[in-house]
Amino acid sequence: MFCEQLVQGEEVQKMSAANRALWRATATFGGGLVGFLTSRYPNFSSKQVENEMEKLLAICDMVALRLDTGAALLALFVDADGLDDEMLVGKSVLIKERLAAFKPFTMRTVLVSRGVYADTFFIFTDSSKAYQFRHRTQQLCKHSEIFGKTYVFPWGIDISAKSVWGYKGWPPVGSVAGLKQAKIESDLFSN
């Protein structure tokens, strides 16, 4: 769901009752009565989500969010051609700092809390800037706080070369949100 859809009055799609029940059953199995009593899906309004998404719009050019998995899965888009290396890294740090605000929208149990994952797409029309980003800057834009469960995964999109590439390292590219590099590239550039 894009921020504009919330502004127009659409409601956030939350985790289904069946998925919540499955999470509680898993928590009960793993943690007994304590697991059952401490598992919860937060109560929040679409307006609260919209407010946090609008704060991210001050950093990014477009923001999309998915909450129906129990985790907060963000897709962020940044027009990167006019930004130097320091500004790109700075944006990724600002994004990382904003992610904690999405933690109250995630499913929690005594054993596991779902994280906040931001697949951040840096978009270039200049292939030389895209190459520079890929080989010098992209790894500096990847951030993770394992105990805080917030993650920034930098992707690159080179419009003129019609290519998409993911980040390097753990977790495997696209594994959290189910994104596939080849599918994104095909969807963007097949016409």
pLDDT confidence of residue 181: 84
Position 24 pLDDT exceeds 90: no
Mean pLDDT computed over every residue of the chain: 81
Average pLDDT of the residues in 138-163: 91
Cβ partners under 8 Å of residue 73, min gap 6: 65, 66, 67, 117, 119, 176, 177
Tens digits of per-residue pLDDT, 27-58? Answer: 555 555 545 555 555 566 778 888 888 999 99
Identify which has the larger pLDDT, 7 or 79. Answer: 79
Task: Show the DSSP H helices in the chain as ranges.
Answer: 3-7, 17-38, 46-57, 85-99, 127-132, 181-189
Tens digits of per-residue pLDDT, 107-144? Answer: 776 656 678 999 999 999 999 999 999 999 999 999 98
pLDDT confidence of residue 3: 45
pLDDT confidence of residue 47: 81
pLDDT confidence of residue 15: 56
C-alpha distance from residue 152 to each of 89, 107, 126, 182 (Å): 11, 19, 23, 20
Name the residue type at position 146: I
pLDDT confidence of residue 1: 44
pTM of the model: 0.79
Tens digits of per-residue pLDDT, 164-185? Answer: 998 887 776 666 677 888 888 8
Per DSSP, the three-state class of 106 is coil
